[in-house]
Structure 1
Amino acid sequence: MSQVVTTFSAERGPSERHVRILDAAERVFARAGFHAATMNEIAVEAGMSPGNLYRYFSSKDAIIAGMSERDRMEIAADFAGLDPGKGRLLDQLDELGRRHMVRKPREKAIIALQIWAEASRAPAMAKICAGFDETVEQGLGAAVEAAKASGELPSNLDQARFLLALFMMADGFFCRRAVDPDFDAAAGAETLFAAMRGLAQTMLLPPADGQTS
């Protein structure tokens, strides 16, 4: 993540100028595609000169890294805000998921698909995706552990398989939203989170030797 470290501080987050550039880049990438988009187009969208843009980001890859890191920091903060004292954790995860999967613009899903495509051939992009996935996995894992400890989820939930299923369903959701402009994101999220709740009660570890289910 060295491109990100030189772009903005993880503690302070992106500056107002960085945010302006990242928002502009998201619009350009969603409209033109990552490869067809140019730094000049991003500069125009951001209302600045290309020379000024290069003071903040050295390349499109650096912009993608900055976009991913901004999203990673946001979702890490959302997971950190989960609290059993605020109610059922599954309800809080449901709300967190809808915030990122439904209420965010469709362009986010389109860009995610482009980044995943790049990650299949570019090690730097694959590393960015891995870092984002690690943050989500840690946040979800901590929430599931807390829900098991409180009795909200079964203590014998097969957590590894459960989290894998959530990742695959979420990835499928983003792919569908990206490729289908008529996709009903709200209805899709309703189905996804109903499946999450069902799996949480049925995806259990096998009984230990000598025990019955």
Structure 2
Amino acid sequence: MALAETRNGDVWGEADRRHRIIEAAERAFVRHGFHATTMQHVAAEAAMSPGNLYRYFPSKEAIVQALCARDQAERGRAFATFAQAESVIAAMAEGLRMNLLRKPREKMQMILEIWAEAARNPAIAALCGAIDADVHAGLMGLVEAAKGKGEAVADLDADFAARLMITVVVGLFKRRAHETDFDGERELSLALGIFVTLFRGGIRPFSAPDAKGAV
């Protein structure tokens, strides 16, 4: 029994250390910029030797992978909560407000730097692609949940709706990262107006006129 308890303690201790390293890495990414941050920077931020850091993460890409896994778990819980809410749209609005307005602007800047790194680093590109797919699937699920609650028209294409919402939100995230005078509440109101119109069937994919009918 004592041995089992010790092993469990080791497991939880290691999980805690990995969590603290991930948080330290985020601070280092903000401080130095993602591309310029080295494992030595992360080790210094985590108050440990580089050799000890490599025991937990063999590379910066491995740290980013762990960071993405943490965020994916949080995102999954949020999507599940939104889907079960009395109003999916109201829950999405609060979630967007929390992520767009209440999180530090530096967090947005760090995310943009990681996306930029994806153009140079195939490993980071694969992680970003997985995030995009996860968000897309989660939003499609919310569209279906909204249909079930009568908040979205029955014939709304979930794939189209998810892609449109991603386009809007990514634009807001980029502007929040770069614009010092960004008016979050005003832009959030604009985004939610688009989403409500979308859910009511007011936005559809564009279909080009039939060339045969052209004069």
Measured against the shorter chain, the TM-score band is 0.7 to 0.9
Q: How many angstroms does 1:204 deviate by? A: 4.2
Q: Distance in 1 between matches of 2:86 and 2:131?
A: 26
| Contact 1:156–1:205 (CA under 8 A) maintained in structure 2 | no
Q: Deviations over 1:86-144 (max 9, x none)?
A: 31111111112222222222222112111111222322212111211222122211111
Aligned residue number for residue 95 of structure 2: 96
Amino acid at match of 2:177: A
Give the TM-score normalised by structure 1.
0.81
Equivalence for 2:43? 43
Rounded to whole Å, the distance in 2 between the matches of 1:184 and 1:72 is 28
Partner of 2:71: 71
Compare the two structures and name the one with the higher helix fraction. 2
Q: Which residue of 2 aligns with 1:149?
A: 148
Inter-CA distance 68–181: structure 2 relative to 1 (3 Å threshold): farther
TM-score by length of 2: 0.81
- In the alignment, is the contact (CA less than 8 A) between 2:29 and 2:37 conserved in 1? yes
Shift of 1:166: 0.7
TM-superposed CA distance for 1:205, in Å, is 7.2
Greater Rg over alpha carbons, structure:
2
Partner of 2:209: none
- Deviation track 1:15-56 (CA, whole Å, cap 9, x = no partner) reads 221221111111111221122222222111112222211111
The answer (yes or no) to whether the contact 2:68–2:127 under 8 Å persists in 1 is yes
Partner of 2:117, secondary structure, is: helix
Cα separation, 2, equivalents of 1:31 and 1:23:
13
Over the aligned positions, Cα root-mean-square deviation in angstroms equals 2.1
Task: Please state how far the C-alpha of 1:62 moved relative to its aligned partner.
Answer: 1.4
C-alpha displacement of 1:186: 3.7
Query: Contact 1:157 / 1:205 at 8 angstroms: preserved in 2?
Result: no
SS of equivalent residue, structure 1 residue 82: helix
Q: Which amino acid aligns with 1:36?
A: A
| Conservation of the 8 A alpha-carbon contact between 1:137 and 1:163 | yes
The code of the aligned residue for 2:118 comes to A
Output the amino acid matched with 2:169. A
Contact 2:160 2:205 in 1 (8 A): no
Task: Provide Cα deviations, 1:44-77, integer angstroms capped at 9, x if missing partner.
Answer: 1112222211111111111122212211111011
Partner of 1:20: 20
Give the corresponding residue for 1:171.
170
Matches within 5 A, 1:52-201: 52-84=52-84, 86-201=85-200
For the residues of structure 2 that align with 1:205 and 1:181, how far apart are their CA atoms?
Answer: 33
